[in-house]
Amino acid sequence: MKQYGAEFVGTFWLVLGGCGSAVLAAAFPGVGIGLLGVSLAFGLTVLTMAYAIGHISGCHLNPAVSIGLWAGGRFPARQLLPYIIAQVLGSIAAAGVLYLIATGKAGFDISSGFASNGYGAHSPGNYSMLAALVSEIVMTMMFLIIILGATDKRAPQGFAPLAIGLGLTLIHLISIPVTNTSVNPARSTGVALFVGDWATAQLWLFWVAPIIGAVLGAFVYRFIGESKAQS
């Protein structure tokens, strides 16, 4: 239960920190943090939680990561469902807190997005569904390769959180214009449930694509990274 609690808290922080920066601070008059700041915020949530709870739960914070680690032989199948449930609940709780904060400002309009992920008319850059699908698959694939490589026993010890946090920052720098960046079904679900309408209608892509990408990333790393001693 401590592991599941850690995943709940960690995912709560990821969504509150990452989506909160997008909703509250990205366009703040005069000092808005913009795309660069939001990208860094998402990376910092993972970096800080990796040091805070990595030794408790592994700090997955993401159903796609849990599934990718299972596909990569690093995580037991019996814990997949409890981890995913904890991650989604943490995301919903964070979205609820963010909603309470954001609606404290007169004129706040949740239908404008609430940091939800989307494609087509709901993509920040009006990218197509195919572009969104490819982006989410490839970005999640690369994220899993980073995670598996950085946490490999042969990698320099103690630096994995830095590589993973900066990797997520880079992913956001690339793909915020395309989908608002998910690579994380839990992150997408929490805010989408509060927006409803188009956000929940398009949510399927932000479950399917990251999971496909995570499994591909696991297979790629097993091919390029597995030593003869491990095989």
pLDDT digits (tens, 9 = 90+) for 148-191: 999 999 988 889 999 999 999 999 999 999 999 999 999 999 99
**DSSP string covering 49-83:** HHHHHHHHH----SHHHHHHHHHTTSS-GGGHHHH
pLDDT per residue over 84-143, tens digit each?
Answer: 999 999 999 999 999 999 999 888 888 877 999 999 999 999 999 999 999 999 999 999
Largest CA distance in the chain: 61
Comparing 80 with 28, which gets the higher pLDDT? 80
Q: Mind listing the pLDDT tens digit for each residue in 139-156?
A: 999 999 999 999 999 988
Q: Is residue 204 part of a domain?
A: yes
Instruction: For residue 89, give the CATH number of its domain.
Output: 1.20.1080.10
Residue 82 within any structural domain of the chain = yes
In a domain, 45, yes or no: yes
Q: How many domains does the chain have?
A: 1
Q: Which residues contact 177 (CB under 8 A, 6 or more apart)?
A: 35, 123, 124, 125, 127
DSSP symbols for 27-51: T-TTT--HHHHHHHHHHHHHHHHHH
- Give the pLDDT confidence score for residue 227 in this predicted structure: 65
Question: What pLDDT is attached to residue 89?
Answer: 98
Establish if 230 belongs to a structural domain: no
- For position 163, what pLDDT does the model report? 96
In a domain, 97, yes or no: yes
Indicate whether 150 belongs to any domain: yes
Distance of CA 137 to the CA centre of its chain: 13
pLDDT tens track for 49-70 = 999 999 999 999 999 999 999 9
Q: Read off the pLDDT of residues 3-15 as tens digits, 9 standing for 90 and up.
A: 999 999 999 999 9
Kindly report the pTM of this predicted structure: 0.93
Confidence of residue 226 (pLDDT cuts 50, 70, 90): confident
CA atoms of 95 and 88, how far apart (whole Å) = 11
For residue 77, pLDDT beyond 70? yes
pLDDT band at 32 (very low <50, low <70, confident <90, very high): confident
CB proximity list for 45: less than 8 A, separation 6 or greater: 13, 14, 17, 18, 61
Helices (DSSP H) in 72-204: which residue ranges?
80-102, 129-150, 160-179, 185-195, 197-201
Tokens 């032989």 locate to 73
The answer to whether residue 169 is domain-embedded is: yes
Average pLDDT over residues 31-42: 92
Q: Is residue 75 part of a domain?
A: yes
Which residues form the domain of 139? 2-225
